[in-house]
Amino acid sequence: IQYREKSVFIDTFTIQAPSVKIFATGAWRYGPIGEFLCNPPGEGFPGEVSIDGTIQVSEIGWLSSRIPEIRRIEGSLDADFQLRGPIGRPAVTATVSLKDGVLRPQMNLPLLEEIRLEASVTPSIIEIRQLQGLLGGAAFRINGTVTDPMAENPVADIQLQGDNLLFYRDKGLRLRADTDLSLRGSLNQLVVSGELAVTDGLFDRYINWLGSLQGNRAPESTGGVELFSFQSPPLKDMRFDVKIRSKAPFRIRSNIVRGQLRPYLGLIGSGETPLLLGKVYVDSARLRLPAGTMLMENGIVQFLESDPDRPVLELGGTSRMLGYDITMLVEGPYDDPVVRLTSSPPLSNEDILLLVLTGTPPPREGRTIDSEARNLNVAVYIGRDLIARWFSGDEESTTESVLERFELEVGRDVTQKGEETLQAQFRLTRGIFQKNDTLFITGEKDVFNYYNAGLRIVFRFK
């Protein structure tokens, strides 16, 4: 430090710690230093400062212990800063650069990695020139401004864009979407708006339907459809106005149902209580029953404004069992739906239910119930359920299990001898001649009581 011509000059100022280094040079212009030393001011230091410096942080991981919402943070930070003005309250400007950043939130959100940030900071505005990285392996980019950052209520105008970004990944659930979102407004009145176009959605969980058969035990309440929730301001008071559309079907693949959905939803509400409104269309679904498969060719799930936590079902399905065409209609709240069954030729409600659940044909004069076949249907169904439960893991398997490639259907029709037909197929591979074809090995017991086996290739065209 030098003193000359009524000014204090900082030739070199250095602080070094294991992960932080600070370098600075500059000047403090006040007046005769003797006068200052003999008569120090009553409040603060007078005079003007002009200081330039650099901050280098080789590892920012220690910040995670000071931010409760962050589980892990990595990266190196460089900042060039300038202090200008009264020494008691100088204006600060800076250029900030973050490299090789990694961020893992405490909530069940995906990892952000390879983060790179270029930003400038002035007393009047923070400008994010470039913030990019990978979210679930897909590139995202953020830019925008924060006006009056030193004020009590700064104003944000920030945009997030990216293709096929991973927003959620948990046991048996995955969601990716093309993203175009904005965050605007003052700190206490933030609004998130824009659009998400689903590019890859998967629900692959074991559904414990056997648990509902445990005696007179009361069913467990689901408490409605629960989304994320922020408990602290300003995110708690943030508002949503986001459209959720479908660029590719959302797939359901569980032990009892497989299908594809197309969401047309709106995310509204606050950060504390976000809500979904709109419709989810069922393009196709297959419901596995003990006696066969129910094909859900159409349907809709509605999230109504009057009760958004309890989506309402309107689903229709058809199946053919033992020569009967069965139609099923499901209506009402998802946690308490009403199921109606009809058949052609017509059967009583009891006979239809017995046929669907066990594969037992309606009683006729001169024909006895084949209890062995009925027990086989139920045993095969329960066996598939137990195997699915045993082999369900916390992480999605990279290869499909044998069970998922094997399909067995008993009793679609009745043979000439009055016995149940049998149809089975095992998927060998995909992409024989083109991307969307599939090769099966098949076997059956047909309506003429013949046993047949062969190969079948299926082509699917868009």
Of the pLDDT bands very low, low, confident and very high (cuts 50, 70, 90), residue 378 is low
**Count of Cβ atoms closer than 10 Å to residue 401 Cβ:** 12
Q: How far apart are CA 138 and CA 175, in angstroms?
A: 13
**Kind of pairing between the strands at 173-186 and 125-135:** unpaired
3-class DSSP state of 432? coil
Q: How far apart are CA 413 and CA 35, in angstroms?
A: 108
Using an 8 Å Cβ cutoff, are 54 and 12 in contact?
no
DSSP secondary structure code for residue 405 in this structure: H
pLDDT in tens, 215-265: 444 444 445 556 777 788 888 899 999 999 999 888 887 767 788 889 999
pLDDT at 86: 85
Using an 8 Å Cβ cutoff, are 216 and 260 in contact?
no
CA dihedral 135, 137, 143, 145 (to 10 degrees): 20
Q: How far apart are CA 191 and CA 181, in angstroms?
A: 10
Single pTM value for the model: 0.68
pLDDT in tens, 311-355: 888 988 888 887 888 898 888 887 778 888 888 888 888 888 777
Residue listed under structure tokens 């069954």: 341
DSSP labels, 303-337: E-TTSTTS-EEEEEEEEEETTEEEEEEEEEETTS-
Q: How far apart are CA 290 and CA 24, in angstroms?
A: 77
Q: How far apart are CA 192 and CA 195, in angstroms?
A: 10
DSSP labels, 16-60: E-SSEEEEEEEEEE-S-HHHHHHS--SSS--SEEEEEEEEEES--
Of the pLDDT bands very low, low, confident and very high (cuts 50, 70, 90), residue 391 is very low
* C-alpha dist (Å) from residue 278 to 250, 281, 302, 309, 326: 16, 10, 6, 12, 30
Using a pLDDT cut of 70, give the percent of the chain over it. Answer: 79
115 forms bridges with which residues in the sheet?
101
CA dihedral 441, 445, 448, 453 (to 10 degrees): 20
371 CB-contact burial (10 Å; exposed 0-12 / middle 13-18 / buried 19+):
exposed
pLDDT at 462: 57
pLDDT in tens, 180-221: 999 999 999 999 999 999 999 888 766 555 444 444 444 444
DSSP labels, 195-215: EEEEEEEEE-----GGGGGST
Residues near 162 by beta carbon (within 8 Å), at least 6 away in sequence: 135, 138, 139, 140, 141, 178, 179
- Mean pLDDT of the region 265-280: 91
pLDDT at 243: 95
- Mean pLDDT of the region 122-135: 91
Residues constituting the chain: 462
Q: How far apart are CA 200 and CA 193, in angstroms?
A: 21
pLDDT in tens, 443-460: 888 888 888 888 888 877
pLDDT at 383 over 60: no
- Mean pLDDT of the region 125-137: 90
Q: How far apart are CA 141 and CA 160, in angstroms?
A: 6
Q: How far apart are CA 193 and CA 187, in angstroms?
A: 15
Dihedral of alpha carbons 220, 223, 226, 228, sign: negative
395 CB-contact burial (10 Å; exposed 0-12 / middle 13-18 / buried 19+):
exposed
pLDDT in tens, 13-61: 999 988 899 999 998 887 555 555 565 555 566 778 899 999 999 988 8
State yes or no: cis peptide before 234, omega within 30 of 0.
yes
* C-alpha dist (Å) from residue 116 to 71, 73, 94, 112: 19, 13, 16, 11
pLDDT at 395: 42
Provide the mean pLDDT of the chain: 80
Q: How far apart are CA 221 and CA 224, in angstroms?
A: 8
pLDDT at 330: 85
**Count of Cβ atoms closer than 10 Å to residue 72 Cβ:** 12
3-class DSSP state of 455? strand
